[in-house]
Structure 1
Amino acid sequence: MSGGAAQRTRRLGLTGSIGAGKSTVAALLREAGLTVTDADALGREVTASPEVLTELARLWPEVVSTGPGRLPALDRAALAARVFGHPEQLAQLEALTHPRIRSATEAAWQAAQDRGESWVVHDIPLLFEKGLDRDMDAVWVVDAPLELRLKRLAERSGLTREQALAREAAQWPPADKRARADTVIVNDRTLADLRQQVTSALHQLGLG
């Protein structure tokens, strides 16, 4: 009897508003044995590569520190200040980094496909904003009340209320994300409650 074609590994898009706890959900998914690609982590790897650092230094010399006997290093705060709120500079940065991030994401998906995994999670903060939800077989949105998210951001990243609200404004409104989600995970209680929501949602995908 001949074997059938291997089943395609499906893609679960994971996104959420800033401070909602998407990274915690991603950690729970890894704990459950799923492969998770992290767009932010891949972006950090990309911007640390010599090729990209050289181009960043050409575009904005102040964001790359150099010196005698020192390897070039990215000043992430300076880069954020350069591109945040400046659409043209942000577009330049994305044109440089996004193709490389997509390539690394696809390589991770292909490896999971080769291993016969049924799902891969793509953790992408700007999933909807960049239209990447169209490539997903299912989408989870992690959400929490605004004031709770602002409190988390102040504690975790030292962001002022104004800084956090500015970043919030650069993303889709939470209500729009929730409306487009297949599953909404509300992270406003305990870790045990969050874990139970994730477990239930995995069962809906035929996992766990």
Structure 2
Amino acid sequence: MRLVQNSLHQEVAATLREQIFAGLYAPGSFLDELVLCERLQISRTPLREALKVLTAEGLLRHEPRRGCFISEVTEKDLDDIFPVIALLEGRCAFEAARNATDADLAALTTLHERLNSHAQASRLNDYYDTNFAIHEAIITLADNRWLAMAIADLRKILKLARSQQLHAPGRLAQSLSEHMAVFAALKARDSAGAEAAMRTHLTRQREALRELARSQRTKVLA
């Protein structure tokens, strides 16, 4: 029975996580446990265990005697996280350039052709999905589970804001160019070059988000 309970709260956590990433809940909004129990057709116990999981991941903020709220990603959060994930993913690119086989590079070629196609057609959601697949492939090629775990934890926070950066003016073409630079280094088995290109790619994502936030503030004041 305990195994069933454990399985249920993980399933509930997965469902809520997907809903948070999909934007179903506004940043800072309160999660009403009674409403969630009714909506998900579950009791309080697995829900509260699921909320603990999401709080540990940083997706929720728990306040004593008040409950759980959807985390808000601040500008400081982004300033703090992006340099760290740039270092981590940069190291993945370094290792991937040393480990990639001809078959691995062929698979990456297909992904980059798909990425280019989505960019040319301005299919942002498809572009983001393929972009994610490329990053995942590079992390897999690095073959370092500690790097993978650290990146996965940070990604859960960044996912609340990261895809927005593609809406910044000129960012889609810039992102594609950055990806091609990383891929060129991987094909050349240039570890240092791949690492530098990946770090540049992540740093410019932060710059794009900053520019987007600045633009949105200007519109509000106008």
Q: Which has the larger strand fraction?
A: 1
Q: Which has the larger helix fraction?
A: 2
TM-score normalised by length of structure 2: 0.26
